[in-house]
Amino acid sequence: MAGDEGVEMAPDRRAATIKDVAAAAGVGVATVSRVLSGTGSVSPATRERVQAAARELDYRPSALGRGLKLRRTGSLGLVLPDVTDPFCAEFTAGVLDCARTLGEHVIVDVSHDDPAREAEIVERFAGQRVDGIIAVPSGDAAGWRAASAVGLPVVFAGRVLDDLPAVPAVLCDDRAGVRAAVDYLVGLGHRRPAFLGGPAPGTAVEVRERAFRDTVAELGAVLDEDLVVRARSGRDSAYAAAAGLFQRRPDVTAVLAAGHVPGEAAVLVAREFDLRVPADVSIVMVDDVPWAELCDPPLTVVSRPARELGYRACEVLRRRPATVGRTPPVVLPAELVVRGSCSPPTGMPGAPPRSSRAR
């Protein structure tokens, strides 16, 4: 047995409690608590003895006992449509960053955009007595009633639920982002831009579609209903929608993809149809993802500050107790990142030959 010491050293012995430390130091539990939490006054000699005992016993206060008494757990819940989605992952990183500075843990769970599942998660979080919930919501308002029962602070991110206007939110100015993209496309000379909607964790798709329609109208370009298509959810659906669009209307010169899933579909389908980007068709995608820069040509995108969104959501959650009544949502800007996937339509002056590309 000697020499076989690893992480499994002592799987049986129970962890030391505050009582053990008190006994070892020859003081009362109250004193130990005072020393370890730094509150109240303790004589230097006693403090030293307690600290030594705690170190000796490898004492680690139980968050359970502490949480029970203090009525707060020091943990918060994060509800996401999908951890695997780059936007959500980046968002999570932001939440984690901020939570760390606050000394909170983060319990993560995924809803897969299913309201029932989201409700179940909220229910579980409530049972766990998390100090608050941050969510990229998918669901109907009903699922969030559970949060109110325990008076749980909630912050929504990316999207809001229309039936719950009172919930504080951290949003991205998607409207402005889409507007900039359409503006750019129309400015290049595309009179009939197409819109490829689809699953987009982190925003209501309708917002983008509406922004698209409004901007196209405003700029005096033509809004061709045949050119705005929507995919349900999933890669395949987006691919099918894109394929349908390109097949039905071989004359499209520019498409705005409402998320990275439809964006990916657009790139793939364009290649499938042997359309050159941007010579034959220009593509702009909402959401910056690592591969956008690796594409050939690199994709022009509308970038959302996902990480910052997460950080801010967490900050709002902390400050929430102070604010009464409804807080105006925090809105962060989206940015148009011009790379190489757009050019004037064929036949227009300035259309570049195939080889030219940004970067």
Partner DNA sequence: GGTAGGTTTGGAAACGATTCCAATCGCGAT
Partner DNA sequence: ATCGCGATTGGAATCGTTTCCAAACCTACC
For 101, which DSSP code?
A: H
Q: Which stretch binds DNA (CB under 7 A): 33-41, 176-184, 192-200, 300-308?
A: 33-41
Is 307 strand, coil or helix?
A: helix
Of residues 70 and 348, the one with the C-beta less far from DNA: 70
Q: Which helix (H) or strand (E) holds 134?
A: strand 132-135
Selected from 17, 46, 51, 128, the binder of its own copies by CB under 8 A is 128
Task: Find the shortest distance in angstroms from Cβ 33 to DNA.
Answer: 3
Beta-carbon count within 10 A of 40 CB = 10
What's the closest the beta carbon of residue 245 comes to DNA, in angstroms?
54
Q: Cβ of residue 55: shortest distance to DNA, in angstroms? A: 14
In the list DNA, its own copies, none, the entry touching 2 (Cβ below 5 to 8 angstroms by class) is none
Smallest distance from its own copies to CB 266, Å: 11
Instruction: Return the H-helix or E-strand segment holding 327.
Output: none
Least distance CB 61 / DNA (angstroms): 4
Show contacts with its own copies in window 266-285 (CB under 8 A).
Answer: 267-268, 271
Q: How many CA atoms lie within 13 A of 242 on its CB side?
A: 31
C-beta separation of 90 from 310 below 8 A: yes
CB count within 10 Å of CB 160 equals 18
User: Pattern of binders to its own copies over 46-85, x per CB under 8 A?
Assistant: ------------x-xxxxxx-xx----x-x------xxx-
What is the spatial distance between Cα 253 and Cα 267, in angstroms, rounded to a whole number? 13
DSSP letter assigned to residue 160: -
Residue from 31, 33, 92, 138 touching its own copies (CB under 8 A): that is: 92
Binding at 58: pick from its own copies, DNA, none (beta carbon under 5-8 Å per type):
its own copies
What lies within 8 Å, CB to CB, of 29 at 6+ separation is: 18, 19, 22
281 residue type, one letter: V
Task: Provide the 8-state DSSP code for 337.
Answer: E
Residue 295 touches which of DNA, its own copies, none (Cβ within 5-8 Å per kind): its own copies
Pairing of strands 228-230, 194-197: parallel
The owner of tokens 């509308």 is 302
Binding of residue 343 to DNA (CB under 7 A) = no
Which of 23, 42, 109, 335 binds its own copies (CB under 8 A)? It is 109
Task: Report the residue from 55, 56, 62, 226 that binds DNA according to the rule CB under 7 A.
Answer: 62
Q: Where on the chain is the footprint of DNA (CB under 7 A)?
A: 14-15, 17-19, 26-34, 36-37, 39-43, 45-46, 59-62, 64-66, 68-71
